[in-house]
Amino acid sequence: MVLRFGIFGFFSAIVLTFGPAAAAEAKVAVAASFLATAEELALAFEAITGDHIVLSAGATGALYAQISQGAPFDVFLAADNERPRKAIDEGHGVPGTAFTYAVGALVLYGPSLDLTSGTRLLRSGAFGHLAIADPQTAPYGAAAVSALRVLGIYDALVPKLVIGESIAQTLLFVESGNAELGFVAPSQVIGKAEDRWWRVPPGLYRPIEQDAVLLRTGEGNPVAAAFLAFLRGGEAQAIVRRHGFDPAP
């Protein structure tokens, strides 16, 4: 049996506002895996421009569902390249504005387990629960399923899976003890003991190319365009690297 948990409503999101109330702003839908990085990027952007960014975080698929139903976001920072392309194809995104802003990676994290060899631990099954983000809506969840399938252990581990709505909730399950370990992003384990997380070999899943796109609702917003230009620049890409992502190709 696969356990599924939900703590956020469909239109709920983590909303963080940066900068003074009088400043111009752009509303950015951001994949949960990139939230901490986006917070730092928003602060750096504000320091340069005086404008501020409103961040709404969630699973990429759930955010896209909101966008397709008219949610007033200006920019979409997805955790894949599929949804930004889909946004353009379905008329929600501005053609020619999509680009890869970061390349993600998958890590296995268990604060009470020795993860010197993640493969050995996964194959042993010596744990009660394994948390992953919903593979239908979260690209990191899909990558986790791919890794387990390539290792040939997915079917055996299905009864142990705990499914979170997003990668942020997946980390919450692990840190609260509802699962002994889980698949998360490198940005979520920075600073944690190195023997408590394992970087999954990239050959076990497709590269997680994370694309940005200007949405139709933000087409006339100069702050949205400026933020996307900033995201391509050297200062922003240095922040991206510092948070454990590979820079855009």
Amino acid at the residue 22: A
| Domains by residue range for the chain, with CATH | 7-104+208-247 (3.40.190.10), 107-204 (3.40.190.10)
For residues 84 and 148, the answer to whether their CB atoms sit within 8 Å is no
Q: Measured between alpha carbons, how far is residue 196 from residues 118, 131, 146, 182 in Å?
A: 10, 15, 22, 11
Amino acid at the residue 120: R
For residues 245 and 105, the answer to whether their CB atoms sit within 8 Å is yes
Query: What pLDDT score does 17 carry?
Result: 43
Q: What is the pLDDT of residues 178-192, one digit of tens each?
A: 999 999 999 899 888
Query: What pLDDT score does 190 carry?
Result: 86
Ranges of the chain whose pLDDT falls below 50? 1-21
Burial bucket for residue 122 (CB in 10 Å: 0-12, 13-18, 19+)? buried
Q: What is the pLDDT of residues 94-132, one digit of tens each?
A: 999 999 999 999 999 999 999 988 999 999 999 999 999
Tokens found for residue 187: 């940005």
Question: To the nearest 10°, the Cα dihedral for 114, 59, 149, 171?
Answer: 10
User: Which pairing describes strands 246-247 and 99-104: parallel, antiparallel, or unpaired?
Assistant: antiparallel
